[in-house]
Structure formats: structure tokens, C-alpha cells
């Protein structure tokens, strides 16, 4: 993988970072879960993601053979790129709606600090990354790296970046600093929630328009589609 490929690889994790994980960890701590028991939650998540990664890797090898004509087709890449741009615009609209129409606060209930429940919760939480279309892309990029252990380390690092919020809250909790961290975060993000969500929606909307514009420009000229350039970052030149 080239240097630009690495930047694109980890850039996907940063752009799609799962903030929900940090919110869940903070909620569990606030409802009686012991800090060390968050590791069971993360363990359940890691077990499912590891198994799914092995399966997805095999599926992507087969899919790569079947989709080779699509990946090699400039027309299909432009169509996929336009679809990605539309998805970004839809996500931007959702974030704008969340900013303008915040949900009412939910009444807090105590969470049972049971290890099987936490492991099961972590396994269910893994659906967030498995449902994210960027994860198969990340696997596809990492599986090009040789030797295999290096590609596996890249995927672990990708997941740590993707789940940075819950990792940060867990580490802070293990050192007894989570209350200070969460209080500081609430003071900072609380009054700025609407503005930050609107900013995020604006960034997504701009990214969507840029991707769609790139697809339109590529269809009307000899310009290489952005998605094709991303696929070429897998290999050394």
C-alpha cells in the first residue's frame, strides 16, 4: 500500500468514526457498570469483528474475482461514485435533522453489571462497524498488504481509530479519570451540539457534492474517477 493509500485507509476511519461507542460507554458507567467490566463489552465486540473480518476477507477474494469487470469498468466506477456522493448527501440531511430536532432526554435506568450481558452487548454493538460500508473497503485495502500479519495489524489500528471514542472513555475509566473527562466533554459539547452537528452536516454535504461533481466531470471527460484512484492506492507503483 502506498503512503497515499495509508492516508486514505485511516482517513476512512476518521471520517466515519463511531461516536456512539463513546456515548454507550459513558452511559454504562453512569448507570453502574464498573470500569474494568467495559473490557468485556469490548471483548464481545472484538470477537465478532475478528470472525467477521476473516469471513469478509474470504468473501472479498471471491467477490473480487466476480467483480473484476465492474472494478475495471470506468463507467461502473462513475456510477458507484455518484451513488456514494448521494449517500453522503443523505447522511448530511440526517445530521441536519438531528441538529434541528434533538431527541428528548431518555429517563436513565440502572444497567445490570453482568459479564454475559456486557459480552452480548458488545457482540450486538459490532453491528455498527459491520453495517458500515467503509469497513469492507478497509479490509479490501488491508488485504493487499504483505505479509498477512502486517495487514492484520493495519486492520486492528483501523478499528482503534474508528472506535476511538469508546477506547478513550474506557482507558480514562480504568485510570479513574472518566468522570472528569465526561464532565469536561459535556461542558464543551453540550451547548455546542447543534452547531457541531450542523458543521458536520455541512462537511458531509460538501464532500457529497465534490464526489458527485467528480463523477460528472469524469463522465464528460477523460478524468480518472476518484474511486478508481482510491483502488489504485492499494498497490505500490
- The tens digit of pLDDT for each residue in 123-176 reads 888 877 777 767 777 777 777 777 777 877 888 888 889 888 888 888 888 887
Task: Give the predicted TM-score (pTM) of the model.
Answer: 0.63
User: Residue 237 domain-assigned?
Assistant: no
Residue 138 resides in a domain: yes
- From its phi and psi, is residue 112 left (phi > 0), alpha (psi between -120 and 50) or beta? beta
Mean pLDDT (the chain, rounded): 76
User: Mean per-residue pLDDT for 71-90?
Assistant: 78
**Residue range(s) defining the domain that contains residue 118:** 3-232
The pLDDT assigned to 70 comes to: 52
User: Is residue 160 one of the residues assigned to a domain?
Assistant: yes
Residue 155 zone, left/alpha/beta (φ > 0; ψ -120 to 50; rest):
alpha
Would you tell me the crossing angle of helices 148-162 and 134-142 to the nearest 10 degrees?
150
pLDDT tens profile 9-68 = 888 788 778 877 877 887 787 777 888 888 888 888 888 888 877 776 666 565 555 545
**Total of domains in the chain:** 1
Radius of gyration of the chain (CA): 20
Whether 14 maps to a domain, the answer reads yes
Amino acid at each position: 500500500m502506498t503512503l497515499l493509500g495509508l492516508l486514505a485507509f485511516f482517513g476512512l476511519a476518521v471520517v466515519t468514526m463511531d461516536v456512539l461507542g463513546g456515548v454507550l460507554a459513558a452511559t454504562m458507567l453512569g448507570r453502574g457498570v464498573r470500569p474494568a467490566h467495559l473490557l468485556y463489552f469490548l471483548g464481545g465486540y472484538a470477537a465478532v469483528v475478528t470472525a467477521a473480518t476473516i469471513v469478509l476477507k474470504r468473501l472479498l477474494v471471491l467477490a473480487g474475482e466476480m467483480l473484476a469487470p465492474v472494478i475495471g469498468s470506468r463507467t461502473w466506477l462513475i456510477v458507484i461514485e455518484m451513488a456514494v456522493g448521494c449517500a453522503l448527501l443523505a447522511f448530511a440531511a440526517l445530521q441536519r435533522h438531528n441538529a434541528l430536532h434533538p431527541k428528548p432526554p431518555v429517563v436513565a435506568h440502572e444497567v445490570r453489571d453482568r459479564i454475559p450481558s456486557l459480552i452480548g452487548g458488545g457482540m450486538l454493538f459490532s453491528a455498527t462497524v459491520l453495517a458500515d460500508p467503509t469497513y469492507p473497503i478497509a479490509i479490501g485495502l488491508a488485504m493487499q498488504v504483505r505479509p498477512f500479519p502486517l495487514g492484520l495489524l493495519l486492520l486492528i489500528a483501523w478499528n482503534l481509530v474508528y472506535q476511538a471514542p469508546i477506547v478513550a472513555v474506557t482507558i480514562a475509566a480504568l485510570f479513574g479519570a472518566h468522570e472528569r473527562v465526561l464532565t469536561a466533554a459535556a461542558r464543551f459539547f453540550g451547548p455546542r451540539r447543534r452547531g457541531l452537528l450542523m458543521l458536520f452536516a455541512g462537511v458531509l454535504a460538501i464532500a457529497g457534492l465534490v464526489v458527485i461533481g467528480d463523477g460528472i466531470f469524469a463522465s464528460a471527460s477523460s478524468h480518472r474517477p476518484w474511486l478508481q484512484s482510491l483502488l489504485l492506492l492499494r498497490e505500490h507503483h
